[in-house]
Amino acid sequence: MTAIPKLVAAMLAAGAMLSTNAQAQPSRPECIAPAKPGGGFDLTCKLAQTALQDGGQLKSPMRVTYMPGGIGAVAYNAVVAQRPADGQAIVAFSSGSLLNLAHGKFGKYGPDDVKWLAAIGTDYGMVAVAANSPYKTLKDLMAAMKADPQKVVFGAGGSVGSQDWMKAALVAKQAGVEHRTMRYVAFEGGGEAITALLGNHVQVVPGDIGEVAGMLEAGKIRVLAVLADKRLPGKLAAIPTAKEQGFDVQWPIVRGFYMGPKVPDAEFQWWSTAFRNLLASRQFGEALDARGLFPFAKTGPELDSYVKAEVARYQTLAREFGLMK
């Protein structure tokens, strides 16, 4: 083959690739947040919505839809059973979703039943009280719990065994308080829990630092501890870790997206490429920082392996608390 036909062949191949890519680009992109507005899933979807549109990855506006129920179970089942090949929709997940998968709370479906698309950042657990709370430090709170666990009411997204419950139980365990004696009120998402905290219906919220960044800046809440291995940078640097207060509890919360199990490869690859480009950009790092999130980028087989390993780790943790056999 001469140079000219080779050039023509290469141009035709490139044109075909561009055509396929254009066809695979979603015309009605949608991000499903598996909870009511105001929590971590909402934050995750809106981060992708803004970043993908501002970065030019999406040509059509992305809408955010809310599908609450079972801390992700309703959305997971709906996508797998009713929209398995929908290449327009991505669904937000967090470490809490993986914990529920580990507990079998998503019904008959497991981690192999969806396509894990991208992990885009990490959040960290925290323990928050209202700004006017008598508890100034985590030690204050634990002392009150130890004196009378029934006088301290925790409220958070998810029932017993959820990741927010786990945060409270791990901290209580470190303080020598039996986790079965905790008073715990379950809400559908982090937004509802914070509303209850501000209304003095609960005294403590073991949630995620990214969910409460705005409330913290507004002076409406006080964060007693962040559940990270070391203090977080920037505007969160003044918040002590639980570890430095004598309670060695760490709880990172990975945030990302999955898609239906039968989404065509071309459409799945379009989203994968869009997220890889996004995660490599400086602008996205700034967007994470503005929302109190931290870099954690995984796509493809690397993310799939991570998800399976985390589900196995959570199963071990659940057995330690007597939540499963």
Range among 78-87, 140-149, 150-159, 203-212 rated most confident = 78-87
d(CA 123, CA 40): 9
> Tell me, what's the pLDDT at 179?
85
> Tell me, what's the pLDDT at 172?
85
What's the pLDDT band for 5 if we cut at 50, 70, 90?
low
What's the pLDDT band for 189 if we cut at 50, 70, 90?
confident
What's the pLDDT band for 128 if we cut at 50, 70, 90?
very high
Asked if residue 272 lies in contact with residue 300, where contact means CB atoms within 8 angstroms, the answer is: yes
Q: Is pLDDT above 50 for 20?
A: no
What's the pLDDT band for 2 if we cut at 50, 70, 90?
low
When pLDDT is averaged across residues 278-299 and rounded to a whole number, the result is 90
| Predicted TM-score of the model (pTM) | 0.76
Q: What is the pLDDT of residues 231-243, one digit of tens each?
A: 998 888 999 999 9
Q: Tell me the residue length of the chain.
A: 325
Task: Round the average pLDDT of the chain to a whole number and report it.
Answer: 89
> Tell me, what's the pLDDT at 14?
40
Residues 6+ apart with CB under 8 A from 218: none
State percent of the chain over pLDDT 70: 93
Burial of 231 (0-12, 13-18, 19+ CB in 10 A): middle
Fold agreement between 26-123+253-320 and 124-251 = yes
Q: Which CATH class is domain 124-251?
A: alpha beta
d(CA 314, CA 29): 32
What's the pLDDT band for 15 if we cut at 50, 70, 90?
very low
CATH number of 26-123+253-320: 3.40.190.150
- 220 phi, psi to nearest 5 deg: -90, -20
When pLDDT is averaged across residues 288-308 and rounded to a whole number, the result is 91
Q: Which residue has the higher pLDDT, 71 or 79?
A: 79
> Tell me, what's the pLDDT at 206?
94
Rounded to the nearest 10 degrees, how much is the dihedral formed by the CA atoms of 283, 284, 285, 291? 110
> Tell me, what's the pLDDT at 211?
79
Q: Is pLDDT above 50 for 18?
A: no
> Tell me, what's the pLDDT at 289?
84
> Tell me, what's the pLDDT at 44?
93
Query: Which of the residue ranges 13-22, 92-101, 243-252 would you say has the lowest mean pLDDT?
Result: 13-22
Q: Which residue has the higher pLDDT, 79 or 248?
A: 79
When pLDDT is averaged across residues 73-87 and rounded to a whole number, the result is 96
Spans of all domains in the chain: 26-123+253-320, 124-251
